Structure 1
Amino acid sequence: MKQVVIAGCGDVGTALGLALHARGWQVYGLRRDPSLLPEGILPIAADLTQPAKPADWPAKVDYLVYCPAAGKRDVELYQRLYVEGLQHVLGWISESRQQLQHLLQVSSTAVYAQSEGEWVTENSRAEADTPTAAQLLAAEDVALRSGVPASVVRLGGIYGPGRNRLIEQVRAGLQVAEVPPQYTNRIHRDDAAGLLAHLLALAERRELLAPCYLGVDDEPASLFEVTSWLAAQLGTRLQADGARSTRSGSKRCSNALARESGWQPAYPGYREGYAELLKD
Structure 2
Amino acid sequence: MSAPSVLIAGCGDVGSRLATQLLGQGWRVHGLRRSIARLPEGVVGVAGDLFAEQRPDTWPSGPLDYLVYCAAATDHDEAGYRAAYVEGLRHVLSWLRQSGQRPRRLLFVSSSSVYVQQAGEWVDETSPAEAEGYSGRLMLEAEQMALDSGIPATRVRLTGIYGPGREWLLTQVRRGYRVVVEPPLYANRIHVDDAAGLLAFLLQADRAGQALEDCYIGVDDAPAPLAEVVGWLREYLGVTEWAEDASVRRTGSKRCSNARARALGWAPRYPSFREGYAAILEGRC
**Is TM-score (shorter-chain normalized) higher than 0.5?**
yes
Bin the TM-score by the shorter chain: over 0.9
Contact 2:107–2:155 (CA<8 Å) still a contact in 1? yes
Q: Which amino acid aligns with 1:121?
A: D
Structure 2 unpaired stretches of 5+: none
Within the candidate set 156, 160, 163, 1:157 is matched to 160
- Mark the CA change 1:150 to 1:119 in structure 2 (over 3 Å): closer, same or farther: same
Q: Which amino acid aligns with 1:107?
A: S
Q: Which amino acid aligns with 2:48?
A: A
TM-score by length of 1: 0.97
Q: Tell me how far apart the structure 2 counterparts of residues 73 and 26 of structure 1 sit (CA, whole Å).
A: 32
Give deviations 1:219-263, integer Å, cap 9, x for gaps: 000100001100000001462436835452100000000000110
Q: Which amino acid aligns with 2:270?
A: Y
3-state SS in 2 of match to 1:61:
coil
Which 4+ runs in 1 deviate beyond 6 A? none
Within the candidate set 136, 146, 150, 1:147 is matched to 150
Q: Is 1:16 aligned to 2:2, yes or no?
A: no
- Deviation of the 1:73 alpha carbon: 2.6
Within the candidate set 182, 192, 211, 2:214 is matched to 211
Q: Which amino acid aligns with 1:239?
A: W
The number of residues matched between the two structures is 280
201-210 or 6-15, larger mean C-alpha shift: 201-210
Q: Tell me how far apart the structure 2 counterparts of residues 235 and 86 of structure 1 sit (CA, whole Å).
A: 45
Structure 1 unpaired stretches of 5+: none
Counterpart for residue 111 of structure 2: 108
Q: Is 1:45 aligned to 2:47, yes or no?
A: yes
- Mark the CA change 1:34 to 1:242 in structure 2 (over 3 Å): closer, same or farther: farther
Counterpart for residue 262 of structure 2: 259
Q: Tell me how far apart the structure 2 counterparts of residues 247 and 193 of structure 1 sit (CA, whole Å).
A: 28
3-state SS in 2 of match to 1:68:
coil
- Identical pairs, percent: 53
Contact 1:170–1:238 (CA<8 Å) still a contact in 2? no
Q: Tell me how far apart the structure 2 counterparts of residues 162 and 135 of structure 1 sit (CA, whole Å).
A: 26
3-state SS in 2 of match to 1:158:
strand
Give deviations 1:86-124, integer Å, cap 9, x for gaps: 011011111111121110000000110100000000000
Q: Which amino acid aligns with 2:53?
A: P
For 1:237-248, list aligned pairs within 5 A: 237=240, 239-241=242-244, 244=247, 246=249, 248=251
Q: Is 1:90 aligned to 2:93, yes or no?
A: yes
Counterpart for residue 32 of structure 1: 34
Contact 2:155–2:216 (CA<8 Å) still a contact in 1? yes
Q: Tell me how far apart the structure 1 counterparts of residues 236 and 24 of structure 2 sit (CA, whole Å).
A: 35
